[in-house]
Structure formats: C-alpha cells, structure tokens
Amino acid sequence: MNPLRLLLLGAPGSGKGTQTSKLLNQFKHIKSVSSGDLLRRRIQQKTELGRIASEYISQGKLLPDSLMNDLVVGELSVRGWLSADSSFLLDGFPRTLEQARSLRVQLTPHNASLNLVVELDVPTDVILERIENRYVHVPSGRVYNLTYNPPKVPGKDDVTGEPLIKRPDDTSEVFGKRLKNYAETVEPLKQFYSELGILKTVSGPTSDIIFPQLLKLVVQKLHQP
Ligand code: G5P
Ligand code: MG
C-alpha cells in the first residue's frame, strides 16, 4: 500500500472535520492534524499562542503564515510523521499559497510531500444552515450537528461525556468573514496543487454524498501502482 498524505480543502463548514472522522474510522493507520483544532486547544490551555489565536479567530481573520507553518510542521515533527512512509491527513492547513509553498519546502527533504489534495465543494446556502447547529468537543475536535449527527446525550461528547461548546467564530457576522477569506485565498492554492497534478474536487450537498467520492480517490491513491 502507498502512503497517503492528503490535504482536505474546503470552505468553513464544508465538512472537512466530518470527512476526516469518516476516513479515520475506515483507515486505522492514517492519522490527522487539524490546524483549527490545534489552535482551539491552545486557547483552552490559555497559552501565549492561544491568546494570539483567540484574537484572530474571534474576528474571522487568518493567523500569520509563518506562525501557522511553525505550529503544524512542529506538530508533524513531534508526532514523527516527517518520513517517506508516513500517512497523514491535514485539515485546514495549508490554506494560503504562502503556506502551501513553505510546507512543500519543508516536506520535500523528508520525501514526505503531499500526494493528494481534495477540495470539498458544498453549496454555500447548505453550509450556512449547518453552522447554526454546530457543537464541538475542543480536546478531541469531535464535531456534532443537532440534526445530522447529534450527540447521544444533549450537550455532551459521546466518548468522554465532557461538555460541548459552540465556537465563538460561528456567529453569522464572523462566519461571513471566514467564507469571504476562503473565497479570496483558495484559487491560487488550487492552482498550486493543480500544477503539481494532485488536486481533485468532490461535490455535493451532504457529507454522505461526498464521502463515497472521497473514499474512491483515497483508495485509488493507496493502491496506485
Ligand atoms: P478551522 O477550524 O480550520 P474552518 O473555517 O476552515 O475552520 P470549519 O468551520 O471547522 O472550517 P469544517 O471542518 O469544514 O468547518 O466542517 P465540519 O465541522 O466538518 O462541518 C460543519 C457542520 O456541519 C458540523 O456541525 C457537522 O456536524 C455538520 N455537517 C457535516 N456534514 C453535514 C451534512 O451532510 N448535513 C448536515 N445537516 N450537517 C452536516 O479554522 C478556524 C480559524 O482558525 C484560524 C483562522 O482564524 C480560522 O478562521 N486558522 C488559520 N489561520 C491561518 N492559517 C491557517 N492554516 C489556519 N487554520 C486555522
Ligand atoms: Mg473543522
């Protein structure tokens, strides 16, 4: 089996976290890093980076590229994933051209470059409906929706029983800014990965329609001769 180093691209609320959970359930050897989850954990732990992140996130602004690069590459390094045979899934990073370029420069010497980038293409009106009903468990990054995948006990994480929260950046004002940021930054990013020949797009109004398309791409990559 080939290694899989996958980036999920997609607008806020398009289902990157949801598809990540579905893939990790299916492939036990694959692990993931979500840049947003890393930041939310730093905020909860009240670290200096958490204080900075909170300022940006609450305004729907992207954090500086260099800071995000150090954070995520540092995480990959600590987890021992900077090697040619490692498989991992990235959610939320890189999300600017600059981040994509610098990640590539850092992964190439380890023969650990990304080999698949999948854009989740979901209509914006569908996304807006979902976000009102989103609740998250910050320590794990598990995500719920009151209609699509509600927690077994209202307000509690299914695995730990710990409280769920609403993200402070899920208000309609901040969410609108996040969608705008995405629209402004995604095209050069897609161009970059398209030129490397690894960009694919999957489309649909629900995660259950998107997942089989994503799964097919992942299986192809794992078994490509
Ligand atoms: P994040 O954390 O990376 P976003 O904005 O990219 O945040 P988000 O909001 O986490 O993405 P998602 O992961 O794509 O969305 O979506 P999801 O949580 O899986 O699904 C959304 C909701 O829909 C959930 O409630 C889910 O249950 C529900 N759902 C899923 N599928 C369906 C369905 O089929 N039907 C229904 N009804 N519901 C469904 O970034 C946050 C902030 O951190 C900073 C920035 O400030 C950013 O704004 N940041 C960075 N800054 C700079 N560079 C980076 N690389 C950064 N990364 C993070
Ligand atoms: Mg997410």
What's the pLDDT tens digit per position in 84-106? 999 999 999 999 999 999 999 99
Ligand 1 atom at shortest distance from the alpha carbon of 99: 55
- What is the band of 40 on the pLDDT scale with cuts at 50, 70, 90? very high
Q: Which CATH architecture is the domain 5-123+186-223 placed in?
A: 3-Layer(aba) Sandwich (3.40)
CB 32 within 8 A of CB 24: yes
Q: Which of 5, 16, 42, 142 is catalytic?
A: 16
Q: For this complex, say whether ipTM is above 0.95.
A: yes
Q: How far is the CA of 113 from the centre of ligand 2 (A)?
A: 22
What's the full length of the chain, in residues?
225
Query: Is 41 an annotated catalytic residue?
Result: no
Closest CA to 156 of 172, 174, 175, 137: 137
Could you tell me the end-to-end alpha-carbon distance of the chain, in angstroms, rounded to an integer? 9
Query: Is 130 an annotated catalytic residue?
Result: no
Order of strands across the sheet that contains 88-91: 31-34, 88-91, 5-10, 116-121, 199-203
Q: Domain boundaries in the chain?
A: 5-123+186-223
CB 143 within 8 A of CB 12: no
What global pTM score does this model have?
Answer: 0.96
Q: How far is the CA of 225 from the centre of ligand 2 (A)?
A: 32
